[in-house]
Amino acid sequence: MLDTVEPTENLLEVNNIEVIYNHVILVLKGVSLSVPKGGITALLGGNGAGKTTTLKAISNLLHSERGEVTKGSITYRGKPIADSNPAALVKQGVIQVMEGRHCFEHLTIEENLMTGA
C-alpha cells in the first residue's frame, strides 16, 4: 500500500517578485516563497540581502519608502493582496513584527505582539 500525501494548503504565496525603490534601484529580483498552513517559513541572509524588503512587500509597507513591487504576485489565502491597505491586511492576519529596535523595550514579547495587533 502506498502512502498518500495530501497537498499542503499554502496561506501565503510570493511568486517571482521584483521590488524597485525610487523607480530605479532594483532591490529584489525573482524572490519566491510559500508559507504552508500550520508551517513556518524562515528568511535567512546577510545584511542587505532583501529580507526586510521582502516582508515589507508582503505587508504592503513599501510605499512609505518609495518602493514598489513591479513584477510577480503575492497572494494570501488564495487572493491577491498587492493593492490591499496595510491596515486591512492586519485585520486579515498578515502582521509584520518589526526588528528589535522598533519594539517597546519595557514590554514583554507577548505585550509587544498585542500592541501591534
The pLDDT tens digits of the residues spanning 8-18 come to 789 999 999 99
CA 67/CA 57 separation, integer angstroms: 9
Q: What is the pLDDT of residue 100?
A: 56
- Topology of domain 10-116, CATH: Rossmann fold (3.40.50)
Asked whether 31 and 20 are in contact (CB, 8 A), the reply is no
Residue carrying the nine cell digits 497572494: 75
Asked whether 18 and 28 are in contact (CB, 8 A), the reply is yes
Instruction: Name the residue ranges covered by the structural domains of the chain.
Output: 10-116
Q: What is the pLDDT of residue 4?
A: 60
- Position 70 confidence tier, pLDDT thresholds 50, 70, 90: very high
pLDDT tens for residues 5-49? 566 789 999 999 999 999 999 999 999 999 999 888 888 888 889
Q: What is the pLDDT of residue 14?
A: 96
| SS3 letters across 32-58 | EEEEECCCCCCCCCCCCCCHHHHHHHH
List the beta bridge partners of residue 20.
26, 68
